[in-house]
Structure 1
Amino acid sequence: MGEEKEIFAYNEDSIKSLDWREHIRLRPGMYIGKLGDGSAPDDGIYVLVKEVLDNCIDEHMMGYGKNIAITIEERTVTIRDYGRGIPLGKLVDVVSKINTGAKYDSKAFQKSVGLNGVGTKAVNALSNYFKVESYRDGRTRAAEFEKGNLLKDHKETATQESNGTFVTFIPDDTVFRNFHFIHEYLDNLLWNYCYLNAGLVITFNNKRYVSKNGLLDLLKRKTNEDEIRYPIIHLKGEDIEVALTHNNDYGEDIFSFVNGQYTTQGGTHQQAFREAFVKTIRDFYKKDYEAADIRQSIVAAVAVRVQEPVFESQTKTKLGSQYVSEGGQSMRNFIADFFAKELDNFLHRNPSTSDALKKRIEQSEKERKELSGIRKLANERAKKANLHNKKLRDCRVHFNDDLPAKNKEEYILAKNKSTIFITEGDSASGSITKSRQVETQAVFSLRGKPLNCFGLTKKVVYENEEFNLLQHALNIENGLEDLRYNNIVIATDADVDGMHIRLLLMTFFLQFFPDLVKQQHVYILETPLFRVRNKQQTIYCYDETEKQAAMQKLGSKPEITRFKGLGEISPEEFGRFISDDMRLQPVILEQGEHIQNLLEYFMGKNTMERQEFIIDNLRIELDLIDEPVKA
């Protein structure tokens, strides 16, 4: 017993202090959110890029530097701004001493994005290689690091370079395993910076990003001119800018920003916008419209500038600030007053727009009333089914859970990991259910091929039991505000039937819940096609190229298994493929893509057009498990 007491002794030796670098590397999720491999837009490698860019943007907002140059070659990121440059005497401290920065004095950075002196330190600590160079008034200094450890502190020298900062880093592949950058995610990030900073020029791998009209340009890029119901309303005031219109989609599509930061999970400013818009519309038309009817099909962007913003986490995806500035208006009153004046004036001056908006609201009202009867019956059926819902094996943590008083950062990480796998049949769902992480991974099992819902009205969501149960499982009947899972993963076999089920599910989401795809919640699970092994090693391969490489590596005729379906993969093996190293293919809707045209082409009745496309693009791939076929 004496030895056991010694093991669990609690004394001075039990207390440890980690230095800044050790703490960031031990708990990276606290600083950059999800680790991930780059498949999701909120994966940590994009947060690293954003943390460096935020400093460049803050310089631009202060009036220094109108150009930023970014290159990404394979895994190496370089970012050059033309601001004032980091003060040379503090160069090493700024990137390696926690809570060191210029943004604590609100006079220097009145409405900055980063306020806590952590950003570039996290990038430094989580990079295999990190170099920072500062150019300031004809002098320069550089410092190089490896995983946060200083390798070389270069002496200050003369330079011909323009003022600014140049950062190079390579993310640590032991932290971000198998990572890769998806340029579409970076594309969105950079466009958002430009929309929020009209006149700023960003160059990314020789592609130029610039916006003249701010949020108006953003909404033009996010909508199709032939689908919107009235010209985009664009309003600007001190510390606030808004653009909005309505289209024919279901749901709400709201992009919210604070001090140049895209708040993907909204927050107090987005909620204030939703409330203020409803109140202004009711007051203008002098009718007590339902809030859901007013906001149905809205596409909007709202950007505010706040003094010392408070976010719910270091990744700054949700605003918690209740006030615009210390001792100033509440967020709710600030946006409500702006709308009551500016939007009301605009609608009075533009009767054609106000008429079109009224018709859109009344159309939504009519559709809602038509659905009310069937919705009530369907919801009653869903409640009964949910008591014994064999289709859903739920998890413990959900995306819409309230944050606990303690361990907020850890709970936010778990919420962001919350995932639902949509599978086909009992065998596949059985494998995933046995191997999933019960804390954050749920499974929804389809009975077979779902209905092709292209061209149908939303009535089908309630009339079709499977769609209705899926809608309730996701909790998206009234929009994405209470979405239960951050990641919706379609997990089907990699055969013709599996591909067809993917198309049918994506049709369902794009037809009735397009915001799920637009806000990048939908993914395809990639599972290995082959297992190549000998007595010493097993390699799982996701395509023919990987298989050939594995065969060459293992040599002497290894055993090769071709997985024909998810049900053939044992639960023990499946656990590896849905762990932190899970390979996901994001479903990305190209900017300006016409959803109805897209669905018409792939899921409509244009059989001959599709047939000609298939014939013109047909490829035959041989399954080369044995020797290659010789002509």
Structure 2
Amino acid sequence: MQSSQNTQNYSEDAIRTLDWKEHIRKRPGMYIGKLGDGTFADDGIYVLLKEVMDNSIDEFMMGNGKKIEVTLSEDGRVTVRDFGRGIPLGKVIDVASKMNTGAKYDSKAFKKSVGLNGVGIKAVNALSTMFNVQAYRDGQTKRVEFCRGEVVTDHEITMSPDKNGTFIEFTPDTTIFENYKFQEEYIETLLKNYTYLNKGLAIVFNGRVFQSKNGLLDLLNENMDSEPLYPVIQLADEDLEIAITHGNQYGEEYYTFVNGQHTTQGGTHLIAFREAYVKTIREFYNKNFDVSDIRTGIIAAISIKIEEPVFESQTKTKLGSKDMGPEGPSVRNYVLDMITEKLDNFLHKNADSADILHKKILESEKERKAISGIKKLARDRAKKVSLHNKKLRDCRTHYTSNKEEKLDSSIFITEGDSASGSITKARNVNSQAVFSLKGKPLNSYGLTRKVVYENEEFNLLQAALDIEDGLETLRYNHVIIATDADVDGMHIRLLLLTFFLQFFPELVKNGHLYILQTPLFRVRNKKKTYYCYSEEERDQAVKKVGAKPEITRFKGLGEISPDEFKHFIGKDIRLEQVRLKKDVPVKDLLSFYMGKNTPDRQDFIIDNLVIEEDLVKEIEAIK
């Protein structure tokens, strides 16, 4: 009987086919990854801009138009105007609203394009309340206006004096991107990267001009926070450009691109580079150096052009292609051959750089051997603990998985059992993990990597994140410091920041480290409850509640019940990304954090790290 009922429920009437815009709106994650509200650089609203920009960049790469104009309005409207060939006037509607339609299916026209699936611009159209596209070609223009993928106005072709090209404007749909807000610095980083990869291209953003003369060299100079140990090495051929140097830091720092797309999770091209670099260095110095000694402190940018690239997801953050094209060599062999020849030649011709690099490798080797004993013990200890690690309450989906949900993977680093208990009970077990600290972690300022293995808590944290050998195995996209909003909480926060900045700076530079904001006050009456993150919000809530409000000051995370906590770590989570400003060396930053107290210390912290403004008083108390 049950089987018969199930069969009736699953009848022909239950099968329906969504049209293109319905499918995109129902399953946006399939097309743009996560949604978000603009808090993170990989949130969907930036992917929308990127999809529009990619088309304009492809035009430039084909030799059409040297300028792209981008504007962002206060109301969240974005415009992009390029000066390429312009969409053929008779195909404007098709290009913007018909799946699998576009010039990129003709590999002769777009041989090494970013997007080959004809989906990107349609996704922007379907996910915008206003999407207008206007093409200019040879003295004529055609404009079509859409709303959520539906044609609103199809204008006739008219004459126009404007230069050839395409103009697109869109406003993200607030029913999908709730309470979104563009962060200009994320847009600037995106646009600057386009200019580093396309020398000669000028991008004008709200009147500011971004342009690069030296390509990846400019990119490294923009992102390095201290002087390189030796001048940046630039190597290039037709389809591969590389810039390499080393800094006095731990870890490995990479910026990788495929056909202009920033592959933040690397892929086959990065794997090939890391292998080729080690092989070349070993052969040049004729010594079988350890891989970690060769690569620690490396800062490199890799840009490769591939025919019909295959990415591991629609958001194109990780390259899956194994070959340069249908008839080309493998990515591995291509990168290996280029680096083996050109890096070897460079080192032979530049003895000063070769000597500095050799010294850096020997110093790393000396430190590694000095801690090899304690490192082995620590690894064994971590393996035993990992089976029943009481500090870690893990989640199901990790950043290393192939699921789209991996972008939501997070780990909260909390202090004490009460705080971790509330978060553990309120968290999403699919995507949110919790790591509990005993109390204040060790001040690691000025210490070597040895302390990471000697200190059980640091070692277990490193193992939980799985970042000992680099970010390729990082298990969580968001590493979130969740401490109380008091003096002790701020101190723990600074100690953790010191740990990450000193030993894993690439975690910070790649935008994975965050601070959790939790409400300082709860204001309520019998009908309404407001959670307030500042005194100003509290005062506004008191006015809304009216007479006899009940006001609670949360002094610690443990005071917030799990039922309440789920509101603060769910879709309305407030996170502040820890970001480093240019021209502020990490070593200088650390000396202000955890070195001697100086009169400038408070101001320096506030100026150079994004923190909760409401905690300025707590920082003052630490001085």
TM-score tier by shorter-chain length is over 0.9
CA distance in 2, matches of 1:461, 1:554: 50
CA distance in 2, matches of 1:307, 1:339: 20
Contact 1:67 1:81 in 2 (8 A): yes
1:605 paired residue among 596, 608, 622: 596
Distance 1:17 1:591, change over 3 A: same
2:573 paired residue among 553, 574, 582: 582
The structural deviation recorded for 1:472 is 0.7
Structure 1 equivalent of residue 201 of structure 2: 200
Q: How does 1:178-197 map to 2 (within 5 A)?
A: 178-197=179-198
CA distance in 2, matches of 1:5, 1:208: 65
Structure 1 equivalent of residue 332 of structure 2: 332
| 1:319-352 Cα distance to aligned partner (Å, 9 max, x none) | 0111112121100110111011111111111111
**SS of corresponding position for 1:477:** coil
- Between Structure 1 and Structure 2, how many residues are aligned? 610
Structure 2 equivalent of residue 166 of structure 1: 167
Which residue type is aligned with residue 112 of structure 1? S
**SS of corresponding position for 1:115:** coil
CA distance in 2, matches of 1:599, 1:207: 32
Distance 1:220 1:614, change over 3 A: closer
The structural deviation recorded for 1:615 is 13
Structure 2 equivalent of residue 256 of structure 1: 256
Distance 1:235 1:549, change over 3 A: same
Q: Which moved more, 1:467-476 or 1:158-167?
A: 158-167
Q: How does 1:314-463 map to 2 (within 5 A)?
A: 314-401=314-401, 403=402, 411=403, 413-463=404-454
| 1:523-542 Cα distance to aligned partner (Å, 9 max, x none) | 11111222233333323222
Distance 1:544 1:612, change over 3 A: closer
Q: How does 1:611-630 map to 2 (within 5 A)?
A: none
| 1:108-147 Cα distance to aligned partner (Å, 9 max, x none) | 1010001101111111111121111111111112111222
Structure 2 equivalent of residue 522 of structure 1: 513
Q: Which moved more, 1:313-322 or 1:74-83?
A: 74-83
The structural deviation recorded for 1:548 is 3.1
Structure 1 unaligned blocks of 5 or more: 404-410, 623-631
The structural deviation recorded for 1:611 is 7.1
The structural deviation recorded for 1:76 is 1.3
Q: Which moved more, 1:344-353 or 1:153-162?
A: 153-162
Q: Does 1:128 align with 2:129?
A: yes
**SS of corresponding position for 2:292:** helix
**SS of corresponding position for 2:103:** coil
Structure 2 unaligned blocks of 5 or more: 608-612, 616-623
Contact 1:422 1:490 in 2 (8 A): yes
Q: How does 1:550-565 map to 2 (within 5 A)?
A: 550-565=541-556
Which residue type is aligned with residue 253 of structure 1? E
Contact 2:226 2:585 in 1 (8 A): no
The structural deviation recorded for 1:3 is 12
Structure 1 equivalent of residue 619 of structure 2: none
**SS of corresponding position for 2:439:** coil
Structure 1 equivalent of residue 237 of structure 2: 237
Distance 1:186 1:611, change over 3 A: closer
Q: Does 1:508 align with 2:508?
A: no
Which residue type is aligned with residue 324 of structure 1? M
**SS of corresponding position for 2:45:** helix
Which residue type is aligned with residue 237 of structure 1? D
Structure 2 equivalent of residue 407 of structure 1: none
1:540 paired residue among 519, 525, 531: 531
The structural deviation recorded for 1:15 is 0.8
Which residue type is aligned with residue 107 of structure 1? K
CA distance in 2, matches of 1:133, 1:16: 34
CA distance in 2, matches of 1:20, 1:611: 53
CA distance in 2, matches of 1:127, 1:142: 17
Which residue type is aligned with residue 598 of structure 2? T
**SS of corresponding position for 1:103:** helix
Distance 1:85 1:545, change over 3 A: farther
Contact 1:37 1:581 in 2 (8 A): no
Structure 2 equivalent of residue 50 of structure 1: 50
Q: Does 1:492 align with 2:521?
A: no
Distance 1:225 1:539, change over 3 A: closer
% identity of equivalent residues: 63
Structure 2 equivalent of residue 627 of structure 1: none
| 1:482-511 Cα distance to aligned partner (Å, 9 max, x none) | 111111011111222212211111110000
CA distance in 2, matches of 1:613, 1:277: 38
The structural deviation recorded for 1:544 is 2.7
Distance 1:580 1:110, change over 3 A: same
Contact 2:534 2:614 in 1 (8 A): no
Which residue type is aligned with residue 197 of structure 1? N
**SS of corresponding position for 1:245:** strand
CA distance in 2, matches of 1:202, 1:556: 54
TM-score, with structure 2 as normaliser: 0.94
The structural deviation recorded for 1:293 is 1.1
The structural deviation recorded for 1:461 is 0.8
| 1:149-175 Cα distance to aligned partner (Å, 9 max, x none) | 221112221112111111111111121
| 1:450-499 Cα distance to aligned partner (Å, 9 max, x none) | 11211111111111111111011111111111111111011111222212
Contact 2:411 2:480 in 1 (8 A): yes
CA distance in 1, matches of 2:142, 2:525: 53
The structural deviation recorded for 1:244 is 0.1
Distance 1:461 1:614, change over 3 A: closer
Distance 1:382 1:68, change over 3 A: same
Which residue type is aligned with residue 219 of structure 2? L
